[in-house]
Amino acid sequence: MGKRILVVDDQETIILFLRDRLEKLGFEVTTASNGLQGLEVLKTESVNGILLDLEMPIMDGLTMLNQLRQRSATVPVIVMSADPTRSTMIKGIEGGAKDYLFKPISDYILKHKCLRLFT
């Protein structure tokens, strides 16, 4: 059984892209479309890593990350954003994320960051 990754993003095209790439790398993928759903998934499933979009409706990624850390969760998180100012990414790293990805996401960078942090 491969390592399990939780992908949390509100854009279906991003979820499909990440699922395809991660499965080709040998990961099992679980998805959620917002932070609240992501936290619900984590109540019943254990994961080896989380790819977390920061800008989502219902519960954004920073709020989810904060709640994870309040629960003492140590699962590695890579935050993702299309924000070109990078200020959101800095907040994610300060909130406990191990790394970040800028959208659009490069296959090469995705592969190396996920293999480094999640295996």
pTM: 0.94
Number of domains in the chain: 1
Per residue in 71-112, pLDDT tens?
877 899 999 998 877 788 889 999 999 999 999 999 999 999
Burial of 72 (C-beta count, 10 Å sphere; 0-12/13-18/19+): exposed
Contact 47, 19 (CB under 8 A): no
Measured CA angle at 79 (ends 76, 81), to 5 deg = 170
pLDDT at 1: 56
- Domain span at residue 34 reads 4-118
Residue 10: give its domain's CATH number: 3.40.50.2300
Q: Cis check for the bond before 76: say yes or no (omega within 30 of 0).
A: no
Per residue in 29-59, pLDDT tens?
999 999 999 999 999 999 999 999 999 999 9
Residue 50: CA count within 13 A, CB half-sphere: 32
pLDDT at 83: 85
